[in-house]
Structure 1
Amino acid sequence: MRTSFLFTSESVSEGHPDKVSDQISDAIVDLFLAKDPEARVACETLTTTQTVVLAGEIRGAGIMDTAGNWAPGVEQEIEDTVRAVVREIGYQQEGFHWETLRFENNLHPQSAHIAQGVDASGNKDEGAGDQGIMFGFACDETPDLMPATLDYSHKILERMAADRKSGAAPFLEPDAKSQVTLRYENGRPVACTAVVVSTQHAPGYDQGEEEAELKTYVRRVVREVLPDGFLSGDTQWHINPTGSFVIGGPDGDAGLTGRKIIVDTYGGAAPHGGGAFSGKDPTKVDRSAAYITRYLAKNVVAAGLAKRCTIQIAYAIGVSEPLSLYVDTHGTAADGVSDEALEKAILGLDTLGRLTPRAIRTHLGLNRPIYRPTAAYGHFGRRADGDYFPWERTDLADALKAALPR
């Protein structure tokens, strides 16, 4: 394992077209779970110039019947939800405006063939909503137990979005991207060698004093986010390197749900099983199993059992228990702790219920409308707050330590 290297991660803002799509899809998930905690949702969103299109499969009491008939008022609620998301992000532009955009709803009933494999019946426990492999990861590079390159990339854009919405940076528009490159020595981040920030802006902020104001602002935000001493005269700065960035968001580039899976997870510092999260109810293990593996990996690191931990889990559609569980602490485990012992400890914890889809949802409380906030600035490394981001809790650390052989 290399200990000295450069590593880079990127993030995108809530106004990026793919993230607009993710937030709409997750707002629909929340709308339906509020009506029926057992709702089945697979909602995809396309955004482009003055247009939002929904497609996918749904099932749930008070939402739609098996013949595809909507419950009274639900279609209007869906459209109102879409427009509210776009308004809250901040799009009131000629090419994409929450009030005047064209909306198209193509959601339809879930396939009966999928339902029969997933639903519990007779002596059959509820099965996974699909096959697949999911990964969780944690490391001790930041207080959030996340890769530092991604953590800082997210926080730069979060700060800029907050300033845009508060009026502190009125020249910013919603679409933006960031990228942070750090130098690692002895496996630890020690310096920032490059920062890239591209942000949509008001007309005129690509030249003269206005451009200087924007670049000065971005530099200040980056300095406030990165740790003291990480920036130096050797740091490369690329702020709006292509020049003008007035046309952005879905007007500048079409957006689709699920296209930012590396931004959503670990910034390339850990493997990814390939499944996206947004738009899916928690019976889909692409989402719930990725959350539980992050929860487990984070608790391993929080317990001091390792400095770095990757966990893989695998499922088959319609089958309740996982096919495999794999733990890799990358040679960073505490003395006397083995990866095999961690695997046995995790599978032996009664509170986790053998990691069936139902047990995961019960343990983390996932059958609730808690997903819209996950759809921008990452699903992981966020603060567990009441009902939100329960997979970021570290309440399993003591139980893991107690379950290991002494």
Structure 2
Amino acid sequence: MSIRNGLFTSESVSEGHPDKLADRISDRILDAFLKLDPDARVACETLLADQCVVVAGEFRTRRIDDFRSVREDAVRLVREVLQEAGYSDAATGIDPDRCEVQVRFNRQSQDINQGVDREDGVLGAGDQGLMFGYACDETPELMPAPIIYAHHLVRRQAEIRRNGGLPWLRPDAKSQVTFRYEDGHPLEIEAVVLSTQHDAETGLDEVRSAVQSHIIDAVIPTDLRSRGFRTLINPTGRFVTGGPKGDTGVTGRKIIVDTYGGSVPHGGGAFSGKDPSKVDRSASYMARFLAKQAVARGWATRALVQLSYAIGVAEPVSFAVETFGTEKSTSRDIAAQLSQEFDLRPQAIIEILDLKRPIYYPTAAYGHFGRTDLPLPWEAVH
């Protein structure tokens, strides 16, 4: 959704949010497989509810021992993710040491595999689908401003919680940032919403005062605040019950948080738990990479890239670039130039972006794009 004049809002969630726990567990399992076998095929899904975690999926490794090794280690990996997110017992949202963990790993269907690892040696797309990538000059990260600030807020919440600055903070949190746009540019922030889990002993007034001073004021610059700027902190009041105890978490339910905050379309596919042969993930990363080249090179101030694939087919079905009239030269065919420079078949994407590595767990919270804290290859400028 492109706003020229008016208000636009994006949200983010913390690493302790139940859906993000699911994403992080799925990507921790993925990284474990890729560490043993860079060519592993992984499709991992996670469900969390109260004191139960279910990890399931389809997997293929060259050596059966690698499959068995990760399956046997899965319970430990799940518990580590819960601990790293800040959960310590059932009262905080889930007990990492005592919760039930069910592991349901299957071997990948040969019907799917035969279309991916083809007899001619060419890697076919792991599924059909369409993927979008985007870049713009609204922020130094070449990302839309609302999602960048929404991520900053929940990252700050996690930082304060970890360093003990506000000892009553708990892991589950959500943020929302509303920008006013004029002539297609983010002008000022109209509103911030931040809901954070806290312990039972801390009153609402203390929560709101501390969150305002320690989180919102630390993240939102005063010169970006509108005249009517307002904050809504824990607008429902008490937020003690959080994590999987308060809400079920499922892999892939925060795809807009993972991408561009709703500023542009999403193809529909989630990222977490999928190896790079799945174009839902790898082609989305490539689409971001291509869009970023167009903006970073000065060809346009906004670029939206769409790719689409058919399962088992290497060449993309379609490739398009939209610059919303911001291109600097009408004589340059950006789509043609990018497609000549970069091979868009799945195997080439994997090689260009070096995707057969265990790099995915850190991406499963605070967005896959615009990250300056991680050396992500799809964020590089060539």
Aligned to 1:348: 340
CA offset at residue 389 of structure 1? Answer: 1.4
On the 8 A contact 2:3/2:181 being kept in 1, the answer is no
1:236 alignment partner in structure 2: 230
Deviations 1:13-43 (A, max 9, x none): 1011000000000000000000000000000
Partner in structure 1 of residue 241 of structure 2: 247
Q: Does the 8 A contact of 1:32 with 1:63 survive in 2?
A: no
TM-score, normalised with respect to structure 2:
0.95
- 1:370 maps to 2:374: no
What does residue 87 of structure 1 align with?
83
Q: CA deviation at 1:63?
A: 4.9
Match of residue 383 from structure 1: 372
**Structure 2 counterpart of 1:324, one-letter code:** S
Deviation (angstroms), 1:337: 4.8
Aligned to 1:21: 22
Does residue 309 of the first structure (1) align with residue 334 of the second (2)? no
Contact 2:136-2:295 within 8 A present in 1 as well = yes
Q: How does 1:183-202 map to 2 (within 5 A)?
A: 183-202=180-199
Q: In structure 1, give the amino acid aligned to 2:349.
A: I
> Does 2:165 match 1:178?
no
Q: Where do 1:108-119 residues align within 5 Å?
A: 108-119=106-117
Is structure 2 residue 158 aligned with structure 1 residue 161? yes
Mapped pair 1:358 → 2:347: yes
Structure 2 counterpart of 1:144, from 132, 141, 144: 141
Residue 96 of structure 1 aligns to a residue whose secondary structure is coil
Q: Give 1:149's aligned amino acid.
A: P
Query: Aligned AA for 1:191?
Result: E
Q: What is the deviation of 1:345?
A: 0.6
* Post-superposition offset of 1:124: 4.9
Q: Aligned pair 1:323/2:312, yes or no?
A: no
Task: Count the aligned residue pairs.
Answer: 379
Are residues 288 and 2 of structure 1, via their aligned partners in 2, closer, same or farther at CA, if it must alter by over 3 Å?
Answer: closer
Q: Distance in 1 between matches of 2:126 and 2:207?
A: 50
Give yes or no for the alignment of 1:282 onto 2:276. yes
The amino acid that maps onto 1:16 is H
Equivalent-residue separation in structure 2 for 1:116 and 1:147 (angstroms) = 39
Kept in 2: contact 1:384–1:391 (CA 8 A) = no
Which residue of structure 2 aligns with residue 34 of structure 1? 35
Q: Distance in 1 between matches of 2:188 and 2:151?
A: 17
Q: Which amino acid aligns with 2:209?
A: K
Q: Deviations over 1:235-263 (max 9, x none)?
A: 12110000110000111000000000001
* Deviation, structure 1 residue 184: 1.0
TM-score by length of 1: 0.90
Q: Distance in 2 between matches of 1:3 and 1:115?
A: 45
Q: Is the 8 A contact 2:32 2:70 kept in 1?
A: no
Cα separation, partners in 2 of 1:219 and 1:7, compared to 1, 3 Å: farther
Residues 292 and 360, structure 1, Cα contact 8 Å, conserved in 2: yes
Tell me by how many angstroms 1:220 deviates. Answer: 4.0
Partner of 1:218: 212
2:205 is aligned with 1:204 = no
Equivalent residues of 1:16, 1:176 under 8 A apart: yes
3-state secondary structure, aligned to 1:369: coil
Distance in 1 (alpha carbons) for counterparts of 2:173 and 2:307 = 33
After superposition, residues 93-132 of structure 1 pair within 5 angstroms as 93-94=89-90, 95-121=93-119, 123-132=120-129
- Secondary structure of 1:363 counterpart: helix
Residue 2 of structure 1, CA deviation: 5.6
The DSSP-based 3-state class of the residue aligned with 2:55 is: strand
How much is the aligned-residue C-alpha RMSD, in angstroms? 1.6
1:234 counterpart SS class: strand
1:78 offset after TM fit, Å? Answer: 1.4
For structure 2, the residue ranges without an aligned partner over 5 or more in a row are none
Q: Which consecutive segments of 4 or more residues in structure 1 shift more than 6 A? A: none
Q: What are the Cα deviations for residues 76-101 of structure 1, in whole angstroms up to 9, with x where unaligned?
A: 31111111111100111314111111
For residue 402 of structure 1, what is the aligned residue in structure 2? none
**SS across alignment from 2:166:** coil
Q: Within 5 A, what are the aligned runs for 1:389-404? A: 389-394=376-381, 396=382
**Cα drift, residue 218 of structure 1:** 3.2
Match of 2:70 in 1: 74
CA distance in 2, matches of 1:4, 1:227: 22
Amino acid at match of 2:20: K
Letter in 1 for 2:216: V
Give the letter aligned to residue 148 of structure 1.
Answer: A
Amino acid at match of 2:56: A
Instruction: State the Cα distance separating 1:189 from its structure 2 match.
Output: 1.2
Residues 245-254 or 219-228, more deviating:
219-228
Partner Cα distance (1:241, 1:11) in 2: 16
Q: Is the 8 A contact 1:42 1:280 kept in 2?
A: yes
The one-letter code matched in structure 1 to 2:261 is G
